Amino acid sequence: MPLGLLGKKLGHTRVYDANGVAVPVTVVLAGPNRVLQVKTQAGADGYNAVQLGFDDQKEQRLTKALTGHIKKQNGVAVKRIKEFRDFSKEVKPGDVVGPTLFAPGDFVDAIGTTKGRGFEGVVKRHRFAGGDSTHGAKGWHRRSGAIGQRLFPGTVMRGMRMPGHMGQVTRTTQNLEIIQVREADNLLLIKGAIPGSEGDYVVIRESKKRPKGWKPPVAAAGKKKAAAADKKAAPAAKK
């Protein structure tokens, strides 16, 4: 992951683009992220990485091991620490990075923990259709049906979809477009939904799979200017 940030999901809203079209966005507090440690290939760690810390914390609430690690790097106490390998931006311990790592038009992946749903049945958990509501089907409306075998193999098959705990797992949503970057407020406005509840911590990283036909915003803007210049030059050439 070349570039990435730790953040906190604040909620959802909508913004309007230049054409007046409403765009649903998720608001993420993406800073300040403090650089706690920089690892290098030539150093003792043997690989390139950057450790970022987010959300200041009281020192007495940290473990002694974590406090010692942070003090060794002359950092400040934080609630969350995340390591990003092959960080493409040159930083050093003590630096502060924020949402300006990204620009409007960039595509990112959002990693978060989904909402916990508790113990759920097969209809909600696996979207089973359930049984008939009529024709004498009493008590089988939301059941899964038979799950066992006969004499062979005489056991429930591995991976059988059944009722159980739902949610509260790590999920990644890919190819989300950044609509706005508000540096003064350390906010990223990202198009679409992000896993997790409001107030949950999330990881925002550069997208690993970009949409077909995607081009960097700067390159796209340069092509538009070149096309406009060609249109202006065409009438002059005819004269």
Please write the tens of the pLDDT for every residue from 11-65.
Answer: 999 999 888 999 999 999 998 999 999 999 988 889 999 999 999 999 999 999 9
Give me the pLDDT at residue 177, please. Answer: 94
- For residue 136, is it within any domain? yes
- For residue 78, is it within any domain? no
- For residue 200, is it within any domain? no
Residues belonging to the chain: 239
Q: Do the strands 96-97 and 78-85 form a parallel or antiparallel pair, or are they unpaired?
A: unpaired
pLDDT digits (tens, 9 = 90+) for 183-215: 999 999 999 999 999 999 999 999 988 766 677
pLDDT band at 2; cut points 50, 70, 90 = confident
Mean pLDDT, range 116-144, rounded to an integer: 91
What percent of the chain shows pLDDT beyond 70?
88
> How distant is the alpha carbon of residue 217 from its chain centre?
21
Mean pLDDT, range 139-151, rounded to an integer: 87
Give me the pLDDT at residue 74, please. Answer: 84
- For residue 140, is it within any domain? yes
- For residue 23, is it within any domain? no
pLDDT band at 236; cut points 50, 70, 90 = low
d(CA 131, CA 129): 7
Q: What kind and span of H or E run contains 239?
A: none
Q: What kind and span of H or E run contains 39?
A: strand 33-39
- For residue 141, is it within any domain? yes
Q: State the pTM of this model.
A: 0.79
Number of domains in the chain: 1
pLDDT digits (tens, 9 = 90+) for 99-123: 999 999 999 999 999 999 999 999 9
Give me the pLDDT at residue 151, please. Answer: 86
d(CA 50, CA 169): 25
User: Is residue 219's pLDDT more than 60?
Assistant: no
Helices (H), 63-121: 64-72
- For residue 145, is it within any domain? yes
- For residue 124, is it within any domain? yes
233 — phi, psi (to 5°)? Answer: -75, -25
* Containing structural domain, residue 133: 116-167
